[in-house]
């Protein structure tokens, strides 16, 4: 019987969940999180009791919070058998999970230039726990692994494969989210074999899934590519980047800060990176940002339909995709020419199925279960090495 504690760290949020069991027979024992964009409270929620707050001196210090969560879980349920960490960039690794040794942490750290706001965030808690509990087994579970099935035409970038660009390709991200969406759709609608999935949250991407396997995705070598996001630009004209540096005098660091932190919803609106703030705003800048975001997502979905040769299902996931009916409605309206139809009442209720029963394209909204996928992959790795 395993006790698995999962940490899912991002640039502005940390979620965690503890599971007991083996294989897919996993029972949630604790979960919780802190989201710097929404609150400054660290919560721990037992599966069978009331939530409680953990007092911490700095809610942005995710490594320290991870150690506090580990202490709290250990007091209540005993020391975990293994700690799992979501690591966004796995590079060329195709295994869903690997043991997170010191050498592996160092190797994964070299990928930080390709995921500068995610890779340090994912490895930080792992390094802190390794220092505090050197004998405790830790595992990395990769967001890129789901896209190991990409065919060559989707994997390759239009760049030389030699010199400075050697080894660069489309890796794809949000793989844990897409793995859950594919699994859930297989359970509720197995006849829907050609799936366009949209992960919409602080980060956003599109994925083409055939028979549960990724065959195309909008993010490329980095999580900056593809759809417009909360603070990230998504894909922009590469010539524009050159012009900003050569003609307008921006440094490399200034361009990086612009594209990663000051673009997307936040940059267009000048108000917020959160659609929950922009929807009720009424400001024309907010409407411009929402219109651009929804158009970007719809274009991403349409591109995935090309790779699939048409699609049978459209899946929304991520915090925005699963929880915000107005965003789904606007994106589906953009895709109506492809036969996409929402059930307005089901959509307003945030039902899981939000398309009419007779719709040719079934539309689903799935809440994320990334930590459960992490626990499954960790259990498999531990079982294989036992």
- Residue 373 falls within a domain, yes or no? no
The reported pLDDT for the residue numbered 38 is 60
User: Into how many domains does the chain fold?
Assistant: 2
The fraction of the chain above a pLDDT of 70, given in percent, is 98
Average pLDDT, the chain: 94
- Residue 382 falls within a domain, yes or no? no
- Residue 178 falls within a domain, yes or no? no
Q: Are residues 208 and 316 in the same domain?
A: yes
The mean pLDDT of 34-53, rounded to a whole number, is 77
Q: Are residues 138 and 252 in the same domain?
A: no
- Residue 336 falls within a domain, yes or no? yes
Q: Tell me which H or E stretch contains 379.
A: helix 370-385
Q: Tell me which H or E stretch contains 62.
A: helix 62-77
Q: Which two structure tokens, joined as six digits, stand for 130? A: 């390794």
Q: Are residues 111 and 252 in the same domain?
A: no
Q: Which two structure tokens, joined as six digits, stand for 17? A: 């969940």
Q: Are residues 134 and 11 in the same domain?
A: yes
Q: Are residues 114 and 263 in the same domain?
A: no
Q: Are residues 116 and 40 in the same domain?
A: yes
- Residue 161 falls within a domain, yes or no? no
Low-confidence winner among 6-20, 207-221, 282-296, 343-357 (lowest mean pLDDT): 6-20
The residue range of the domain holding 224 is: 190-365
Single residue among 102, 118, 142 that ends a domain in this structure: 142
Residues near 238 by beta carbon (within 8 Å), at least 6 away in sequence: none
256-288 tens-digit pLDDT? 999 999 999 999 999 999 999 999 999 999 999
- Residue 97 falls within a domain, yes or no? yes
For residue 361, the domain's CATH number is 3.30.420.40
Q: Are residues 104 and 210 in the same domain?
A: no
Q: Are residues 108 and 239 in the same domain?
A: no
- Residue 185 falls within a domain, yes or no? no
246-264 tens-digit pLDDT? 999 999 999 999 999 999 9
Q: How many CB atoms lie within 10 A of CB 158?
A: 4
Q: Hey, which residues are catalytic here?
A: 143
Q: Are residues 237 and 316 in the same domain?
A: yes
């Amino acid at each position: 019987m395993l006790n698995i504690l999962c940490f899912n760290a991002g640039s502005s949020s940390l979620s965690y969940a503890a599971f007991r069991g083996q294989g897919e027979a996993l029972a949630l024992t604790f979960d919780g999180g802190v989201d710097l964009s929404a609150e400054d409270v660290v919560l721990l929620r037992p599966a069978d009791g009331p939530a409680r707050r953990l007092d911490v001196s700095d809610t942005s210090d995710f490594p320290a919070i991870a150690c506090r969560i580990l202490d709290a879980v250990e007091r209540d349920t005993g020391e975990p058998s293994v700690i799992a960490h979501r690591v966004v960039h796995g590079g060329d690794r195709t295994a869903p999970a690997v043991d997170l040794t010191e050498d592996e942490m160092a190797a994964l750290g070299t990928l930080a230039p390709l995921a500068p706001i995610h890779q340090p965030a994912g490895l930080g808690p792992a390094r802190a726990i390794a220092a505090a509990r050197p004998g405790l087994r830790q595992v990395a579970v990769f967001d890129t692994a789901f896209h190991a099935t990409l065919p060559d035409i989707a994997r390759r970038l239009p760049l030389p494969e030699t010199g400075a660009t050697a080894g660069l390709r489309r890796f794809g991200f949000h793989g844990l989210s897409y793995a859950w969406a594919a699994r859930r759709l297989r359970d509720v609608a197995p006849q829907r074999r050609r799936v366009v999935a949209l992960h919409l949250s602080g980060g956003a991407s599109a994925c083409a899934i055939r028979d549960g396997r990724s065959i195309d995705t909008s993010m490329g070598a980095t999580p900056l590519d593809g759809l417009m996001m909360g603070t990230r630009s998504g894909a922009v004209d590469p010539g524009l980047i050159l012009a900003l540096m050569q003609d307008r005098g921006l440094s490399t660091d200034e361009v990086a800060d612009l594209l990663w932190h000051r673009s997307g919803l936040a940059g267009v609106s000048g108000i917020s990176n959160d659609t929950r703030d922009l929807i009720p705003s009424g400001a024309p800048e907010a409407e411009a940002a929402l219109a651009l975001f929804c158009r970007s997502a719809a274009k991403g979905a349409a591109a995935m339909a090309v790779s699939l040769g048409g699609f049978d299902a459209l899946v929304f996931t991520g915090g925005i995709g699963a929880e915000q009916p107005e965003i789904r409605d606007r994106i589906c309206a953009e895709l109506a020419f492809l036969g996409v139809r929402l059930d307005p009442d089901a959509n307003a209720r945030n039902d899981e199925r939000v398309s009419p029963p007779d719709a040719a394209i079934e539309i689903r909204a799935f809440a994320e279960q990334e930590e459960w996928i992490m626990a499954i992959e960790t259990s498999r790795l531990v079982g294989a090495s036992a």
